[in-house]
Structure 1
Amino acid sequence: MSSSESTNWKEAVNSEIKSILSNHTWELTDLPSGNKLLGSKWIFKRAMKADGTIDKYMARLVVKGYRKKKGLDYFDTYSPIIRITSIRMLIALTAVHDPKIHQMDVKTTLLKGELEEEIYMEQPEGFVVLGKEEKVCRLVKSLYGLKQAPKQWHVKFDQTMLTNGFKINECDKCAYINNVPNHKVIVCMYDDDMLIMSKDIDDINATKRMLSSKFDMKYLGVVDLILGIKILKPPQELALSQSHYIKRVLDKFKYLNFNNVKTPTDLSFTFQKNEGYSDVNWITRSNEVKSTSGYVFTFGGGAVSWKSSKQTCIARSTMEFEFIALDKAGEEVEWLRNFLEDIPF
């Protein structure tokens, strides 16, 4: 490596290989006749902090799974991803009911799933075993780049949570609830990021110990940053911020040096605990045929779900515009209600 950051990248590569080998991801063998041999490559990425500085250097060994054919080399690949609305809602609960939220990170997430198919890969560049140069890697567990890797990881995590007393939220398959009286815990997962919520710190610690006994986990403390969103906790309130992202966008388009404009809050307007609003615009230009619908839902005084989009059909009256907008808002409020029915706070 000739980069000025080569030392950091080499440490990341060695850490990745160490995790792969300790996980027994593959075994060296001869390539059976008629089997396809896949290549591999290294992917490098910098993980950033909320203030835009580098948190850590990451290296991923990726198998070239794009050469595989669906129905022949792999089958089901579906893996759910938690809705950002779910995360906002759970964080908003901390402002209303004051549970604690801690954060953990799963190291080498996609290496945990068990493979059902026979897959062979070349030995990774820079780590060919001396004396076994002709051997290939038969993958025993998932590896980054495989189409089925996210699904296999999610199946593995589901099994772990279900066998330890948790149930899966019916509306969001990445939210897990342990609703035992006096020991209520919520776990939500996005890829390798994990939030653990409970009013009792002992229950959080018990959940952390359980997860650490099953997976290679890193404890990140009380939640501070999730999916690039900074969580601010002034006294008796809570706020979400992406100021670093806004600054990066402004800098990209050369607007960073503009003067700030402050809009004072209307003191006569008070948010209720649970509210939702929907609206639709008029067609304002002659070449427009569809209106724009929008809605926003608040919880505990802050917005948790919002959307603005073109309507998918052509309405014939202003009343029809409004009913179409109301229908979309109704779908969302039904989802929010059903999601909260499983939340034990």
Structure 2
Amino acid sequence: MLELTIGIVGATGVVGQTAFDILADDFSGFKVKKLKMYASRSSAGKVFNFRNSKVTIEEINLESLQECDAILFATDAAISQEYIPKLAEKGILCIDKSSAFRSHSAVPLVVPEVNADQLAYEKIAKFPVIASPNCCTIPLVMVLKALDEKFSLIRAIVSTYQSVSGAGKPAVEVLTEETKNFFVNQDLTCGKSDIFPKSIAFNVMPYVAGLLENGDTDEESKIISETRKILANPKLLLAATSVRVPTFVGHGESVTLEFKNKVTAAQVKETLSQFSGISVIDEKSKFEEDDYELFVTPREAHGKDDVFVSRVRKTEVFENGIALWIVSDNLRKGAALNAIQIINFCALNGTILSLKRK
């Protein structure tokens, strides 16, 4: 098993902290020999306990980053664009959670359960950078991949219900403070914050990131373009509406699908239940620790690695139509876990070892 020095850039953010927690687990492809954590100057010097050792946060610097075998970038696109090309020149595997490289033609956009073939050394040797998709794209493409292979997907209509942690730690703080303000002062003024254009507490807003010229938000555009890229289907008919909701962790997606082939709800459940990383929930589901009953909510998905699918049913809006509900932990499978699974796969398939020998 490979022993690797792993770096986390953006280590004090919600995704970085989730990655820190996950890396304490055991993996089939690698062992963390050393963990290096990077953040802004204001966080430098903070100390975290990792397994049986202490890790001190460093200010982001190229010299120290070059000591890593693989690095997870859980920060904004500007920092990724500044450091990743320089590290890639040195043959260091970089997994980027920002949007900086997702549309780059030479950079694979990967969900290991869907397109792990893109992690072969030959595909990334010249520029060892892997982009991790948007937190709503990841669970969506897992479902679409499984069903498209069997029933031939024609179109998808998606509405997302996204928790505030998707906008980072400051957004979590905004929801917390606005909620406190309501209970203390009975104030439900729909005012603007530093994070959101209107109050998020006890509210929903069809606005995740900025509006584009075509009327889509940036988030909706990402879901559409990223899904097409991952599924290698640039003409896939897909509409998305992204809604920010006043929950802390966990994203939900209401999905309506049209297929070329005839399909039943039972066939969809059976197909999805056989796909790695997906749990189908209905009246027949049996779990040792959790009783989800008929459906799963984002709160129940918090801290779980699986993508949960429930409310699977036929819909008459299309001849071969299916409607379903997806939830997942946006900080785990939607972000940190997917990136770490990419590192694990690159350890198992020999890509990291080949990069180290380069």
Report the structure number with the largest CA radius of gyration. Answer: 1
**TM-score calculated relative to the size of structure 2:** 0.22
Higher helix share: 2
Higher strand share: 1
Structure ranking higher on relative contact order (CA contacts 8 Å, 6+ apart): 2
**TM-score calculated relative to the size of structure 1:** 0.23
